[in-house]
Amino acid sequence: MKPAKLYYWILGCFSMALCCWCTSDKFHQSDSHPHTWKKLYLAHHWPVTVCKQVANDCQDPPEYWTIHGLWPDKSEECNRTWHFNVTEIKDLMPDMRRYWPDVIHSSLNRTHFWKHEWEKHGTCAATLEVLNSQKKYFGKTLELYQHVNLNGYLQKAGIKPSSTYYQMTAIKEGLTKFYGVTPKIQCLPPEEGEKAQTIGQIEFCFTKELQLRNCTEPKGESNRLQTDLQLGTRELSVCNDTLPVYYPSQVQHRK
């Protein structure tokens, strides 16, 4: 083989090998990689409180805790070219509409909420083989939601929507005792004239092996997922243990 041809043959082989390495190692992580994450948050939100957050009125929100999302910590929008494709989850659609609805926009044809969750969080969760496609990501989230069965626990514990206030410590201790891990509970702070905070979101944390783990962070370590999708002018924050908790049963429309 002539030197010139040999050079181009070697260059071509090297280029192909490099391309294959990049493709197969699309999501390789190291501790210094900007998209490295250590745990997943399975976030449930209370639809009535979601409606309380937004400026526009919700219509007939579900009366059970629904999925907000499955979020890796410390990483977002890991692949902006991997766009959401609703046809990939068509087999999941009945459960998606029931357990992962867009609470604010009730139309069954709206997919913006799922698109947001996939492109912001799913593309990062896809570093795990069990979550490395849209069908796997949404399907596994539904599976974890059913496994946790937050609605079933709250009903069994007698914690239900009521005009009577709850103590935050009682809710937190009950959840921790039942699940064996500490969840993260978020509330809307009291507005002017209100006495209680309003419970809005309960998050359970999972390891990369999809085992439940504590959501608590070491002192000094910040959590970038304090809030996810801003739904309105009011934001959720970690509930105050010293304030009573309101668990609303229905949407109170603003005058």
Q: Which of 45, 119, 121, 203 is catalytic?
A: 121
DSSP line for 122-144: IHHHTTSGGGSSHHHHHHHHHHH
Q: Which of 45, 117, 119, 203 is catalytic?
A: 117
68 as an active site residue: the answer is yes
Contact between 128 and 208 (Cβ < 8 Å): yes
- Count the Cβ atoms, other than its own, within 10 Å of residue 14: 10
112 as an active site residue: the answer is no
**DSSP summary character for residue 87:** G
Rounded to whole angstroms, how far apart are CA atoms 44 and 201? 6
Rounded to whole angstroms, how far apart are CA atoms 244 and 174? 16
Phi, psi of 111 (to 5 degrees): -125, 10
**DSSP summary character for residue 248:** -
Which of 97, 243, 116 has the alpha carbon at shortest distance from 168? 243
Rounded to whole angstroms, how far apart are CA atoms 67 and 82? 22
Q: Which of 44, 45, 68, 119 is catalytic?
A: 68
Q: Which residues are catalytic?
A: 68, 117, 121
